[in-house]
Amino acid sequence: MQLRIPGIALLFLIGAVAGLVGDHCHVVTGTTVYLPASHQVPFVWTSPIWFPALVGVATVLLAELRLHLGAARPTVTVRQGLGGVAAVVGTYAITALAHTAPAFVSTVLIGTLATITWSVLGDRSAIVCAVAIAIVGPAAEVFLVVIDVFRYTHGSDGLFGVAPWLIPLYFAFGVVAALLGEIVTKRR
């Protein structure tokens, strides 16, 4: 393991809090609705307790993966990390606002933002992390939709019951989680 306990804790916290903010945006706009099966566990804000835990763990795992793919760039900064987190949370909020837009348009918009995020903050190794979570994340959400944990609103459910823009949203998340791994390691 390349990450140390303080870094793991920080990455988990950043992922969990950012995930809660983004998910709250989805819940309050009706982009997603948690169904009765999800209410068998306590909620944090408007999310089942397992949601921020999953996002926090995913953030840590992606950061660790990035560190196994090559040396951390010596030029990455905390400022870039803050900008990356803001970019992902902002993109998440845009998906909440765009849930009534045609799926093609909102997917193009989120795809464009994900591309900008990678172009400005990512490297080749970040692509591996981004592609991995862009596959695993939406697949996990499809599974949760199938077992009736939550649903996406009509019009934002065109990819096996989930939103097509999840793929680029998760991609951007993967880029930023990789960047955060580099920053946490550099700051030891």
d(CA 24, CA 6) in angstroms, rounded, equals 27
| Contact present, 63 and 12 (Cβ < 8 Å) | no
What's the alpha-carbon Rg for the chain, to the nearest Å? Answer: 16
Residue 140 one-letter amino acid: A
The helix or strand, by DSSP H or E, that contains position 10, with its residue range, turns out to be: helix 5-29
Q: What pLDDT sits at residue 187? A: 66
Q: Is the pLDDT of residue 148 over 70?
A: yes
| Contact present, 102 and 162 (Cβ < 8 Å) | no
- Confidence (pTM): 0.98
d(CA 29, CA 79) in angstroms, rounded, equals 30
Q: Is the pLDDT of residue 176 over 70?
A: yes
Q: Residues 72-121: pLDDT tens digits? A: 999 999 999 999 999 999 999 999 999 999 999 999 999 999 999 999 99
Residue 42 one-letter amino acid: P
d(CA 78, CA 180) in angstroms, rounded, equals 8
| Average pLDDT score, the chain | 98
> Taking residues 113-136, what's their average pLDDT?
99
Band of residue 188 on the pLDDT scale cut at 50, 70, 90: low
- Token match 């989805």: residue? 26
Question: Between 5-29 and 78-97, two packed helices, what is the crossing angle to 10 degrees?
Answer: 20
